[in-house]
Amino acid sequence: MAARVYATSADYTEWSGQAAPTGAERLLAQASRDIDDALLTARYCTDADGMPIESDVIDALRDATCAQVEYQQETGDTGTGAAGRWDSVSLGPVALSGRKDAPTGPQGLDLAPRADRALRRAGLTPGVIR
């Protein structure tokens, strides 16, 4: 089965009101995988290709995917989850570093807050049967 991608560059432009970023297709594909990871045990109706068939689910996955790309662009993330998440402090011979915040999603997934809200509004939380 081919990887599911829930949004297009045109969807991103319409959703965000901004031009799609360079490499949008790759970013949207990665964000779609992030959304799949966030919904690992969620249950909803799909077609033979695993794509949602209910319009509210389609809309929620599209919006969550766009929000995930927007979030990664704002944090300077390339999809690894590392960008914009670490700080460091040096004072003479002492150096300290640490994570600024923790991932917000399941299994350490750094899920965009707007993506999480889009999924929850549609009732797409892990373990919920639609």
pLDDT, tens digit, 9 for 90 and up, residues 71-126:
999 888 765 555 555 456 556 676 656 655 544 554 568 899 999 999 999 989 77
With b for 16 or more beta-carbon neighbours within 10 A and e for fewer, the 22-57 pattern comes to: eebeebbbbbbbbbbebbeebebeeeeeeebeeeeb
Per-residue pLDDT tens for 12-27? 999 999 999 999 999 9
Phi, psi of 17 (to 5 degrees): 75, 10
Amino acid letter for position 39: L
54-58, 66-70, 98-102, 116-120: range with lowest mean pLDDT: 98-102
Rounded to 10°, the helix 24-38/55-75 angle is 120
8 half-sphere exposure, CB direction, 13 A CA radius = 3
Q: Which helix (H) or strand (E) holds 46?
A: none
* Summary count for the chain: helices (H), strands (E): 4, 2
Report the predicted TM-score, pTM, of the whole model to 2 decimal places: 0.78
